[in-house]
Amino acid sequence: MSRLRVAVLGASGRLGRFACELLDRDPDFEVVARASSRDDVSVVLRGARAEVVFESTAAGLGAAHARLALEAGARPLVATSGVTPEEVADLDAFARSRGLGGLYAPNLSRGMWLLQRMAEEAARHVSACEIVELHHDRKRDAPSGTAADTARRVRAARAAVDPASASRDVPIHSVRLPGLLAHQEVLFGSPGELLTLRHDALSAEAYGPGIRAGLRYVAAASGFRIGIGLAFEAPASP
């Protein structure tokens, strides 16, 4: 079986370095390009002949880099915060026009995916919800892409049961402190009780299974979608 050719964008960052080390140890993958912030992404992608791209640069750059990957004939897995639903829709149409696919994963952790599934179920029964997301002090964007995605999923699940709740917001509280890595609490309150769902990412290892599953998923995906759960639920590519 041939190895999947991967270009890593943001290879000098914390997550990018981890992804390179992870994929270098995996016989199913071959890292064919490692781009840092100093590199011209379009030039790197045109020369790499990568099949898939792992994008982990800076918040707000994910959609532009995903489009460059698609233009180069590669399929992107975007792990950078800040890709909007409107950008996902545009990328989906562009990917389909080229017979390609991709994925925006606000969070790569299996545990966070499970937390979101539990939050969607809870939202069908308890409408009052707020989110607290806590990250290291080097994370510049707030709220996190994970928290925004969780809030979107909670609103959708709640509205499916009570359409009148569709316009009601899910407040997000952001904390940036040294000593933290990536943590999230989703709190549901009703008279006399509180339900708290919490996830703690304690090291980059939490994202390893999602990186591998996500790259395998996009290698065969059609269209550009949101959520690492699609990769965890999909059968492994042959």
Phi/psi of residue 185, nearest 5 degrees: -120, 140
- State the distance between the two ends of the chain, measured CA to CA, in whole angstroms: 9
Known catalytic residue at 173: no
Tokens (6 digits) for 57: 């640069």
SS (H, E, C) 48-95: HCCCEEEECCCCCCHHHHHHHHHHCCCEEEECCCCCCHHHHHHHHHHH
* Catalytic, out of 139, 173, 183, 199: 139
* Catalytic, out of 65, 125, 135, 136: 135
Known catalytic residue at 135: yes
Instruction: Describe the chain by its helix, strand, coil percentages, rounded to 5.
Output: 40, 25, 35
Phi/psi of residue 115, nearest 5 degrees: -60, -45
Sole residue written with tokens 């065969």: 220
Active site residues: 135, 139
